[in-house]
Amino acid sequence: MSSNRRGPPKHQNQYAWKPNAGHKINETEVGGRLRPYSQITGVCARCKDQIDWKRRYGKYKSLVEPAKCQRCGKRAVRQAYHSICSACSKALGVCAKCSCHVDRIIGRDIMEVEAEQKVLDEAIRSARERDRRTLLRAMNKGKSSCATKTPTVGDRSREGDLFPVESVDEYADLSREDDDDEGSDEEDHICN
């Protein structure tokens, strides 16, 4: 039976539909509070919105095991609804879900995240205790407030926030100079 009616709906919903509204959600399952979904990376903005919609309305099915890449044939696709592995997607400059050529791909590559984490861990290990705690507080604050914002692949907006210098060695030298400056200021203050 077809309807010739066009335009807005006849009746407006009073509240938004929520998946599993009457069921208690297990916090330890994937998608719960203790095990949230992974970040959506390597896709265009349109595909990211589609995957977000699936997550919001309870239609998202996560991968149990890695899937085959449609380009290289390796079992390297680790995110649900992706058809191309991240290496092929990055090399070809296409969206990992719809395979369209796009200028801006959302999310950061896993290798970049691991490399950044390794540099931060090394910097934290070599810093003094006071700086280490400051860095950890800044990192934890950034995680809680930036959880909704998804960075792009070429995003360098946070560069220089934690470390005002290029290398870890320069940072260590800078912190040593600050120690020397603080000590001399205190001596001047005591003498005056």
pLDDT tens, 176-187?
666 665 555 544
84 and 123 both lie in a single domain: no
Q: Is 137 in the same domain as 83?
A: no
Answer whether residue 78 is part of any domain. Answer: yes
Q: Is the confidence at residue 23, as pLDDT, over 50?
A: yes
DSSP class of residue 10? Answer: S
44 and 6 Cβ atoms separated by less than 8 Å: no
184 inside domain: no
Dist CA 161 CA 145 (whole Å): 15
Same domain, yes or no: 102 and 115: no
Number of structural domains in the chain: 2
* Neighbour-count burial of 71, counting CB atoms closer than 10 A to its CB (0-12 exposed, 13-18 middle, 19+ buried): middle
Note the pLDDT tens digit of each residue in 119-132: 888 888 888 889 88
The reply to whether 114 and 100 lie within a common domain is no
pLDDT computed for residue 191 by the predictor: 47
Are residues 54 and 60 in contact, defined by beta-carbon separation less than 8 angstroms? yes
Q: Is residue 182 part of a domain?
A: no
Strand partners, 94: 101
Residues 3 and 133: their CA atoms lie apart, in Å, by 65
Question: Is 183 inside a domain boundary?
Answer: no
Residue 97 sits in the same domain as residue 34 = yes
The percentage of residues in the chain with a pLDDT greater than 70, rounded to a whole number, is 72
Q: Could you tell me if 163 and 123 are in contact, meaning their C-beta atoms sit under 8 angstroms apart?
A: yes
Q: Is the pLDDT reported for residue 81 higher than 90?
A: yes
pLDDT of residue 86: 87
Residue 113 CA: distances (Å) to CA of 27, 41, 81, 108:
26, 11, 21, 7
Residue range 75-91: average pLDDT?
91
Across the chain, what does the average pLDDT equal?
78
Q: Is residue 63 part of a domain?
A: yes
Is residue 82 within 8 Å of residue 65, measured between CB atoms?
no
Same domain, 118 and 103: no
Do 56 and 120 lie in one domain? The reply is no
Is 128 part of a structural domain of the chain? yes
Any domain includes 4:
no
Mean pLDDT, residues 44-57 taken together:
92
Query: What distance in Å separates the CA atoms of residue 68 and residue 66, rounded to the nearest whole number?
Result: 7
Place of tokens 């020397």: 180
**Which residue range forms the structural domain that includes residue 81?**
17-107
Q: What global pTM score does this model have?
A: 0.54
pLDDT at 158: 53
Residue 192's pLDDT band, with cuts at 50, 70 and 90, is: very low
* Tens-digit pLDDT profile for residues 134-154: 888 887 887 655 544 544 445
Together in a domain, 74 and 30:
yes
Coil vs helix vs strand at 2: coil
Please give the pLDDT value at position 114. Answer: 80
